[in-house]
């Protein structure tokens, strides 16, 4: 049992977020964007602190995610897109590159870059993961982003002096 536990709270106030969304399968990805916006709004993000970037397909997401993260304008970058196996023979290539690229953007910049990509075998499965039966992956990605920005602020930034807009909100529990 650890004596100290660090975990981020779910408070988006004072943090800035970028959402990167692909237009491919827009009727599904659009719901992921709505889910992400709803999540950020519910957790207290200000409208002016959220910016949406659109790219043609999911394959284009990683490079933009990297550049947006490198700009240091945002505390976290949320990526949403939809790749469906039935629609393309190169599903594995696209899904693999997007997954790898999103991870790389985070590792290379130190900015949390969140994976909100639906990879599904069928259209029906994709719809289920965009708000129908299995939650909304965009909403979940927003929750993850908010938790992480709070965690990183608490653990790594508190000695740098508090940000004027942000708050030190991660919880440290001693047992």
Residues catalogued as catalytic? 90
**125 belongs to the binding site for ligand INI (CB under 6 A):** no
Closest to ligand INI by CB, 10 vs 123, is 123
# of chain residues touching ligand INI (CB under 6 A): 15
DSSP states of 21-90: EE-TTHHHHHHHHHHHHHHHHHTT--GGGEEEEEESSGGGHHHHHHHHHHTT--SEEEEEEEEEGGG-TT
| Paired strand residues for 41 | none
Of residues 8 and 81, the one with the C-beta less far from ligand INI: 81
Q: How far is the CB of 122 from ligand INI (least distance, A)?
A: 12
Judging by DSSP bridges, how do beta strands 4-7 and 171-174 pair with one another?
antiparallel
Rounded distance between C-alpha atoms, residue 175 and residue 159, angstroms: 23
**Chain residues 12-41 in contact with ligand INI, contact rule CB under 6 A:** 22, 24-25
Alpha-carbon separation of residue 42 from 71, 103, 171 (angstroms): 26, 26, 20
Q: Is 94 in the site for ligand INI (CB under 6 A)?
A: yes
List the interface residues with ligand INI, window 48-87 (CB under 6 A): 56-60, 81-84, 87
Q: Minimal CB distance to ligand INI: which residue?
A: 57
Residues that bind ligand INI (CB under 6 A): 22, 24-25, 56-60, 81-84, 87-88, 94
């Amino acid at each position: 049992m650890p004596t100290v536990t660090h975990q981020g709270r779910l408070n988006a106030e004072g943090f800035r977020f970028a959402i990167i969304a692909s237009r491919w399968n827009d009727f599904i990805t659009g719901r992921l964007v709505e889910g992400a916006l709803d999540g950020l709004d519910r957790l207290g993000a200000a409208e002016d602190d959220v910016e949406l970037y659109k790219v043609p397909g999911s394959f284009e997401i990683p490079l933009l995610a990297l550049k947006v993260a490198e700009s240091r304008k945002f505390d976290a970058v949320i990526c949403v897109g939809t790749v469906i196996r039935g629609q393309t023979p190169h599903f594995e290539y696209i899904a693999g590159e997007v997954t790898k690229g999103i991870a790389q953007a985070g590792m290379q910049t130190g900015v949390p870059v969140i994976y909100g990509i639906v990879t599904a075998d069928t259209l029906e499965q994709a719809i289920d993961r965009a708000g129908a039966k299995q939650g909304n992956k965009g909403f979940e990605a927003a929750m993850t982003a908010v938790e992480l920005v709070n965690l990183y602020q608490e653990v790594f930034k508190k000695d740098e002096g508090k940000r004027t807009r942000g708050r030190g909100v991660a919880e440290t529990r001693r047992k």
